[in-house]
Amino acid sequence: MKKKDIYLIRHGETEWNTCGRFQGKLDSPLTAQGQIQARAFGAKISHMKVDIDSFISSPLGRTIQTASIISRCVNLSPLKLDERLAEVSLGSWDGLTHVDIDAQWPRVLDGSTQFDWYFRSCDGESYDTALDRANQWLNETHGVILAVSHGLIGRIIRGAYLKLSKEDTLTLPVPQNMIWRLHDNKVEPINVD
């Protein structure tokens, strides 16, 4: 069996990223900067001359838009959509800002950190559920994969791959100018700037 080699990308910057609105399963389009980032991902993958076996994306609009721009730069297999790569849902908090959450659910974020607050929503996806789908996806992938996903689930995928604790997983960085290569039980950052 061919060795697993995953190139994991977070979608480019979106309009909601710029104003602190948490997207979850909702969507907003890429900004001009997000489109530049997507082109940079494509150029970097093209320059690396990686033979991609599977090109996979979350089914959400911002990842599909990013993947579409990447595919203009690199000759890739047809894009497959995989729900397991979709962003963690914050339930009723999808599309809101911290100010909105504080106004509608006073004190619910008290005692949370900048990393674990995502899982305080009463109807959002739990960490364990997101971790289960990340592990399932990792266990079922093989070959050389280019995957376009999101910030929080991207953290969880990398943490699952490295077998990190929840606390360590949630503090992993999520820049929008980085390709993460998961191979040989390591995660290597590849800067695209």
How far is 105 from 14, CA to CA, in rounded Å? 26
pLDDT single digits (tens) 119-134: 999 999 999 999 999 9
The answer to whether 77 and 54 are in contact (CB under 8 A) is yes
pLDDT single digits (tens) 10-46: 999 999 999 999 999 999 999 999 999 999 999 999 9
pLDDT in the model for residue 193: 81
> What b/e readout covers 34-70, taking b as 16+ CB neighbours within 10 angstroms?
bbebbbbbbebbeeeebebebbbbbebbbbbbbbebb
SS3 state of residue 174: coil
Number of domains present in the structure of the chain: 1
How far is 127 from 106, CA to CA, in rounded Å? 22
Q: Quick one: how many helices (H) and strands (E) in the chain?
A: 7, 6
Point out the residues that are catalytic.
11, 87
The answer to whether 161 and 23 are in contact (CB under 8 A) is no
Domain extent at residue 9: 5-191
What integer best gives the mean pLDDT of the chain?
A: 94
Q: Find the angle CA(169)-CA(61)-CA(50) to the nearest 5 degrees.
A: 65
Specify the CATH number for the domain of residue 150: 3.40.50.1240
At 113, is the pLDDT very low, low, confident or very high (cuts 50, 70, 90)?
confident
- Tell me which residue of 1, 4, 36, 27 sits closest to 144, measured CA to CA: 4
Q: Which residues pair with 10 in a beta bridge?
A: 149
- Percentage of the chain modeled with pLDDT above 90: 88
- Beta-carbon neighbour count of residue 122 at 10 Å? 9
